[in-house]
Structure 1
Amino acid sequence: MTDQLPPLVQRLRDKLSRSRDFSISLVIHFIIIVLLGGVIITKVVPEPEQITGTIAPVADAVRPPPTDKTTLKQEMSLDKLINPAPSKDQPDIIFSEQKNPQAPIFVKSIDIPPPNADQVPAAISKMESIAPSTVNEITPEVLTQLAKTQRIWMGTPGKGKHAEYDFTAFIGQYSGGNWNSTVRVSNGKIDAGSLPNLLYLMSSWTKDRVRTNYTNVRAIRLDSDELLNVRPPFIFLTGTRDFQLTEKEVENLRAYLKVGGCIWGDSSVPGQRSRFDLAFKREMRRVVADVDKNFEPLPADHPLYSQAYFKDVKQMPAGLNNYRLPIYAMKMYGEVAILYTANDYGDMWQVGLDQDGKIDLGRNVAGQYVATNPAIYDQRDVYLRNINRDSLEASYRFGANVVMHLLTRWQSKVGEAATSTL
């Protein structure tokens, strides 16, 4: 027995040795697989834009992505908050007997991470710091066209707060993107949101001397003949996403500006370098087609401030998330032709004020909000900042000044031609 012991011990030692070598080899292979696997996973994870799928594909569009990852994250978060996915069981709009019955019932539908509310606005881009371009000359033919355009929507001319106007506001429906990001559309009709709430207060504040037709805010296709037939005093453009205008839309807008129209862009993501911010500036340069023209910040003594309806509004009010970028413009014939606000006032105007200046939280018989979108209001001081009565009133008063300026900007130049028989 003792003679057989050494071989057994030897075989056992050999097996243990092989087992140890196998274990070490297994551990080494595992480590190598983990390291290589991490590299492969890192390479195949798509960029945020691919994950969200919120950017509608546009053929041959140039899409310079935001270079600031914080801005990109904020933009995607706001896009989900402001534009929640539609619900199949969403109820029909129900109206109540309260002061602002034109606002729709909003249904809360949010599930998002918070944006970076403390983000510092990006520096003004280089293209906006170029010296102002030369002023176009107003020929007699241009003056006649401006006068004709003004007569389409002007009411009874007067001075100051005694003037009367009657007009319909239009939101531009452009290709791609989400042109209706700050309004509610039901059965093809804009029921409420940014412009309806703003115009409702304007009618109330002016005691209907400015008849805004706030119950009939309309969408207008930018490639339609209606644009040049109606010639509205301005077209409101907004959104959160990248977009590219068709050649027909560019031609229509260019012709519309030449007869005295104005494009008012308001980004639905506050701050610069968002997808809409980049797209709007890029596409407006296509519309103007003048290499010498650039967006210029309006000075403090511009008539929009110095001759405003609310003269106490001396500067830009803070917008959503407390952004306070200046108001930018491109001019034609010495007057604003394209106006751009990047502080996202449109989403603030989804929270309505009543005639007494209080936040309108009225509900219908079903207990639902009528004039205020809870997807915006319920996230105040959580995901969205600067949603309170004072800031809302300041933004509404500023918006009223913008509208009044766009209604009156040609009066000093057109003069008697606007009131003569044409």
Structure 2
Amino acid sequence: MAWWNRLFKKKEPIQQEEDWEQLVYTRNGVNFDEEDQRKRYIVNCLEQIAEASKEIDLLTGEYTLVTSYLTDTDEIEALPAEQREEVNRVAGKLAGLEQERSRYREKKNRMRDADFYAIRKRENEIEEGIQKIRDGEKYGNLIRQDLHRLDGERHAYEYRRNELENLMNNQRGMAVIFLTALIVCVIMLVILQYAFEMDVYVGLFLAVGAGAVAISYVCIRYMDAGRELQRVEKTINKIIQLQNKVKIRYVNNCQLMEYLYLKYNTDSAAKLEKQWKMYQDEKEERKQFAEAEAKIEYYQKQLVQQLAGYRVQMPERWISQTAALLDKREMVEIRHELIQRRQVLRKQMDYNQEVAESARNEVKDIAATYPKYAQEILAMVERYDR
């Protein structure tokens, strides 16, 4: 009944984008007794661990930075009333000067203050951010193309696998038919010879020859289909392994883009680049306000010195966040944004940890399933750990 089930089994659907985050470990078509296949499968798992670990290392620094921002908000909120009043006094002076400059800008068609200060907060990293987002968008499109192509190839090979299984089933049936027909012909010829004393040697020779040729032809096609089926199974397994690698990159890229869009308050590199050019023009116009800028710089230094004395790790950040120092609602908004960014980073770190753990478990399971190769697998793991 096995061949009957294979004949009528359902085809596996092509994976959609929402399924790309799910890794698939399959050992179908992998012969672990063959060194090349065994090593290739283990190396694939180890490469997944290495890539996930690399991503975790890159994310840890940004996660620490965002956490330090949150710690600063706690330190400022916990200041005694007298110290907080002094901070608010300086912040109020700075905010007043900013308002004067804003009133001048409103007289002309200028860049919105919210956009200007949002970019100003990250002025030193905007160009790098634009390039990162542009590269991420380009890389994401390439990954999607690769995943669509791999899905198409996998579907094509699975379709071919079903064709080969059907072909093998048909060849088995034809072999049975030819053999039955040959036996019936031989029996009839024997009956004609002995019952009717007819000379049937030529007919017997032709029947046996034709049957042998037909059965040989069917057997050759059956064996060719079997060999091709093995090759197709191996190819499907290789595609699945490659999909796993690309899926990891797809998820990491999606989560990175989600974080960058949130960090730079944009939805595309083109939009951010347009805002950046507007900002540069605006900045050039504001050079004429040298006196106001000098006063702003003075109070900024005062604010930084004050906050630095209160265990604030990054006092420079609060130069552009005076509204948050004066208004608790603004401070709540900043904390909400930082918590969101940290959640995105944590989600990405957890995913990569899960990827690494899944790959490790797969390697451990293979070592347990094939204990005679455990030492070899352990040696490969130790080489990658170096």
TM category, shorter: under 0.3
Between 1 and 2, higher relative CO (CA 8 Å, sep ≥ 6) is seen in 2
> TM-score, length-normalised on structure 2?
0.26
Larger relative strand fraction: 1
- If you compute each CA radius of gyration, which structure gives the higher value, 1 or 2? 2
> TM-score, length-normalised on structure 1?
0.25
